[in-house]
Amino acid sequence: MARVYNFSAGPAMLPEPVLAQARDEMLDWQGSGMCVAEMSHRGKEFMSIAAQAEADLRELMSIPDNYKVLFLQGGASSQFTAIPMNLLHGGESADYISTGSWSKKAIAEARRYCGVHIAATTEDTKFTRAPAQAELDLSADASYVHYTPNETIQGVEFSDIPETNGKPLVADMSSTILSRPIDVSKYGLIYAGAQKNIGPAGLTIVIVREDLIGQPINGTPTMLDYKVQADNDSMYNTPPTYAWYLAGLVFQWLKGKGGLSAMGEINARKAKRLYDCVDASSFYQNPVDPTSRSWMNVPFTLASADLDETFLKEAKAAGLTTLKGHRSVGGMRASIYNAMPEEGVEALVSFMHEFERKNG
Amino acid sequence: MARVYNFSAGPAMLPEPVLAQARDEMLDWQGSGMCVAEMSHRGKEFMSIAAQAEADLRELMSIPDNYKVLFLQGGASSQFTAIPMNLLHGGESADYISTGSWSKKAIAEARRYCGVHIAATTEDTKFTRAPAQAELDLSADASYVHYTPNETIQGVEFSDIPETNGKPLVADMSSTILSRPIDVSKYGLIYAGAQKNIGPAGLTIVIVREDLIGQPINGTPTMLDYKVQADNDSMYNTPPTYAWYLAGLVFQWLKGKGGLSAMGEINARKAKRLYDCVDASSFYQNPVDPTSRSWMNVPFTLASADLDETFLKEAKAAGLTTLKGHRSVGGMRASIYNAMPEEGVEALVSFMHEFERKNG
């Protein structure tokens, strides 16, 4: 079968040139006679791959020198635990902004380790917007402030970075990282599961200001201690080497595309094209406040939920897959991460027009 | 370059037919138009891959129905934490058998959560043997007994399963799993990092008797709670999907080779061939008690450490790589996991004979 346009929210599409290179190197990476997955992580071949990936990520994101970049396992869900364990610093509470399903998960896990003060929540409006700065009720004794810049399920995104009056700002950027330029210096810690904009599932990136690590609470698992991971260059134990390699290929691909400024322009165009299609129609609807709409995840409903099954079936036949919305929201969701080409969005828009014409 | 015989202790060689299939499916898994790494873990394609891999592993290892099989992240090092967290069951101590570098790591982490009683240690003889059953000093109040059937660094292996008088036996089988038939019913919990006999780094298998889970200590990270992972079929969050898929291909390959009985015969032959070569020579030496020698990791020293560099250089030129011993032991180490073909061992033995002839 031809390659499909896969709108999965994650694991998501990977750039085809990255897959082609991985395929070509599968039995022999650059004359080594080995697949990257077979290499000792302590050998010079993999060490060079790992170092290049970190250097490319630092360049792409302009990561300041006083930040550590960690290549970890366990997904964002493991970071939900690691963040309070590492960043409470003797404090007893943290501020969390609640904007959807993923911030709620982060909050539930943090509550097992500290007091959580909800600095703002948009649950009363069904998580269809990001709160404004003026709505934030930050507490004086919070050790840090956590938020989710992009809520993958609700398709809600912050357009500005919250101001925290000097408190370390912590962001779950699983669905935002690498989608556009980000000012890392505004953050204390950024974390992201790889399976959306970075690479395959099983790798988690943590970017953390180095003065914030080294004071974990008692009982922090060694593997969740950022200082241990930083001191060991993310090789306290065997890292997910093949995922790290694929992420490195994605970073090279992004550099070839012109970096994050170029990606930001492309992603803005892709999102606008899709929201314009939804807004120009009374057949499709998106419930999110236009100022808070995600560039990465575009949920939409059809005029009648009875048409959902037909829409999904016909879309799949047209090579447009994984469009079913999350069960908590219903309808459809088109996730359009970096690896989704503009042609894929164009194909979806054409399909949506045709589907509306036949069923509207 | 031609494929090399790679004697890495992990990440280790993968079967060439597995790599070839992964290569061929990289851009399109079975007509799906997607790489497995791009698939939603909730979609029917990946769900079928995941279920097949578990079914094949259960068949290969004859895993009884009252055991859960978990596909996790974080390596054996994360299990060093998870085991006391999940298996103390209100108790305050556990028995650990200390036979080398990896049991010491497991012990150090467990001590952060409970009392550790050393039921036996062979450190006085530099970890060159496994203790006999009669040497085990098991304590009445231990919640479980932990041991390391194969010490990867020292090349030491238990020839028998310790008898624990009904206490759950916990085994770090990272270097033993799938190398031969294992009676799973003798164990409370088996865990193994994938990067030796299972697949790529970034996947960890846990096989646990289901009556042992569901009583984690306070503060156990949700991701380390076996009950949560079991109740969610290892998909509480996004699992390492591509690694899971590659492991599944390895399981299929093992079935095609005749399963674990056949692999056990092959592995016994490979190990005997190499130890015979070492023992027949006064140029090479292995310090391990012959009854405790590992089938998987064969450390050996040369007559003079001054020859180490030449040996490694000439071996590499002959397509025999990653033979350097662990820095704590010195000399050489040949790891000969399932994916190392008998031809690879034959090539190493020939090289060793020739090297001895020239330098002995």
**B293-352: per-residue pLDDT in tens?**
999 999 999 999 999 999 999 999 999 999 999 988 899 999 999 999 999 999 999 999
Beta partners for residue B151, in sequence order: B156
Q: Which residues contact B200 (CB under 8 A, 6 or more apart)?
A: A37, A240, A241, A242, B11, B14, B194, B242, B243, B246, B247
Find out whether A306 is annotated in a ligand binding site. no
The answer to whether the annotation marks B76 as part of a ligand binding site is yes
Closest-CA distance, B79 to chain A, in angstroms, reads 10
User: Does B47 contact chain A (CB < 8 Å)?
Assistant: no
- Do A242 and B35 make contact, defined as CB atoms within 8 angstroms? no
- Residues in B closer than 8 angstroms to A27, CB to CB, are 3, 16, 19-20, 23
Q: How confident is the model at residue B1 (pLDDT cuts 50, 70, 90)?
A: low
Rounded Cα–Cα distance for residues B178 and B188 (Å): 17
Mean pLDDT confidence for B200-222: 98
Could you tell me which chain A residue has the CA closest to the CA of B46?
A: A11
CA nearest neighbour of B148 among B176, B128, B126:
B176
Res B90 pLDDT > 90 = yes
Instruction: Decide: helix, strand or coil at residue A170.
Output: strand
Partners of residue A6 in chain B, C-beta under 8 Å:
33-34, 38-39
Is A43's CB within 8 Å of B12's CB? no
Pairwise CB contact (< 8 Å): B20 & A27: yes
Contacts with A22 from chain B: Cβ below 8 Å:
26
Q: Is A21 near chain B, with CB under 8 Å?
A: no
B37 interfacial to chain A (CB closer than 8 Å): yes
Q: How far apart are CA A93 and CA A70, in angstroms?
A: 25
B215 close to B76: Cβ distance less than 8 angstroms = no
Are A4 and B39 inside 8 Å of each other by CB? no
A55 in contact with B, Cβ within 8 Å: no
- DSSP letter, residue A11: S
Across B168-207, b (16+ Cβ under 10 Å) vs e yields bbbbbbbbbbbbbebebeebbbbbbbbbbbbbbbbbbbbb
Q: Which residue has the tokens 């040949």?
A: B334
> How far apart, in Å, are the Cα atoms of B29 and each of A4, A15, A37, B36?
11, 16, 19, 6
End-to-end C-alpha distance for chain A, whole angstroms = 31
Interface check B80 vs A, CB under 8 A: yes
Q: Is A44 on the interface with B (CB under 8 A)?
A: no
Which neighbouring-strand residues pair with A285? A301
Reply yes or no on whether B102 is catalytic: yes
Instruction: Note whether A232 contacts B: Cβ–Cβ < 8 A.
Output: no
> Per the omega criterion (within 30 degrees of 0), is the bond before B341 cis?
no
**Is B237 marked as binding a ligand?**
yes
C-alpha torsion angle, residues B66, B72, B77, B79 (rounded to 10): -30
Question: Among A11, A219, A238, whose Cβ lies nearest the Cβ of B10?
Answer: A238
Decide if A33 and B203 are in contact by the 8 Å CB cutoff.
no
Q: Cα dihedral angle (A203, A294, A61, A245), rounded to 10 degrees?
A: 30
What's the gap in Å between the CA of A105 and the closest CA on chain B? 11
Q: Which of B8, B34, B74 faces A6 most closely, judged by CB atoms?
A: B34
Q: What are phi and psi of A95, to 5 degrees?
A: -95, 135
Pairing of strands B156-157, B150-151: antiparallel
Report the distance separating Cα A345 and Cα A198, nearest Å: 20
Out of B35, B43, B236, the one facing A77 most closely (by C-beta) is: B236
B264 phi, psi to nearest 5 deg? -60, -40
User: Which residues of chain A are under the pLDDT cut of 70?
Assistant: 1
Q: Is B133 on the interface with A (CB under 8 A)?
A: no
**Domain assignments of chain B as residue spans, ordered by start:** 17-256, 259-359
CA end-to-end distance (rounded Å), chain B? 31
Which residue type occupies A229? Q
d(CA A276, CA A267): 14
Catalytic-residue membership of B196:
yes
Nearest to B243 by CA among A36, A46, A202, A42: A202
Q: Hey, are the CB atoms on A74 and B6 less than 8 Å from each other?
A: no
| CB-based contact, B331 to chain A, within 8 Å | no
Using the beta-carbon criterion (under 8 Å), do B201 and A8 form an inter-chain contact?
Answer: no
The tokens for B272 are 């005997």
Q: Active-site residue among A56, A95, A172, A225?
A: A172
CA A58 to centroid of chain Cα atoms: 17
Phi-psi region at B153: left, alpha or beta (left = phi > 0; alpha = psi -120 to 50): alpha
Contacts of B75 in chain A (CB under 8 A): 73, 223, 237-238
pLDDT at A1: 61
For residue A229, list chain B residues with Cβ-Cβ distance below 8 A: none
Q: Which of A37, A36, A46 is nearest to B200 (CA)?
A: A37
Selected from 3.90.1150.10, 3.40.50.1970, 1.20.1250.20, 3.20.20.70, the CATH number assigned to the domain covering A259-359 reads 3.90.1150.10
- The yes or no reply on domain B17-256 and CATH 3.40.640.10 is yes
User: For A124-156, how does the pLDDT look when each residue is reduced to its tens digit (9 = 90+)?
Assistant: 999 999 999 999 999 999 999 999 999 999 999
All residues of chain A having their beta carbon less than 8 Å from the beta carbon of residue B28 are 1, 3
**Residue B238, annotated as binding a ligand:** yes
Of A1, A195, A243, the CB nearest to B33: A1
Q: Under DSSP, is residue B192 helix (H, G, I), strand (E, B) or coil?
A: strand
CB-nearest partner of A236 from B6, B77, B201: B77
What is the Cα–Cα distance from A322 to A231, expressed in whole angstroms? 40
Whether A1 and B31 lie within 8 Å, measured CB to CB: yes
Which candidate in A1, A16, A38, A313 is best for mutational testing of the B interface (most B CBs within 10 A)?
A38
Q: How many helices (H) and strands (E) does chain B have?
A: 9, 13
- Nearest CB among B22, B109, B222 relative to A26 is that of B22
In terms of DSSP bridges, do strands B189-193 and B204-209 run parallel, antiparallel, or are they unpaired? antiparallel
For position B360, what pLDDT does the model report? 86
Q: Which residue of A has its CA nearest to B320?
A: A33
**Gap between the Cα atoms of B164 and B331, Å rounded:** 36
CA angle B26, B200, A203 (to 5 degrees): 80
SS3 B1: coil
> pLDDT per residue over B119-141, tens digit each?
999 999 999 999 999 999 999 99
Q: Given the structure tokens 């150090």, which residue do they identify? A: B108
Indicate the DSSP class of residue B91.
-
- Selecting from B10, B241, B322 the residue whose C-beta is nearest the C-beta of A201 gives B241
Q: Which pLDDT value is given to residue B328?
A: 86
Q: Give mean pLDDT, residues B231-253.
A: 98
Summarize the confidence of residues B214-222 as an average pLDDT: 97
Asked if this assembly's ipTM is beyond 0.90, the reply is yes
Selecting among B196, B225, B295, B324, the annotated active-site residue is B196
- Whether A324 is catalytic is no
B285 annotated as ligand-binding? no
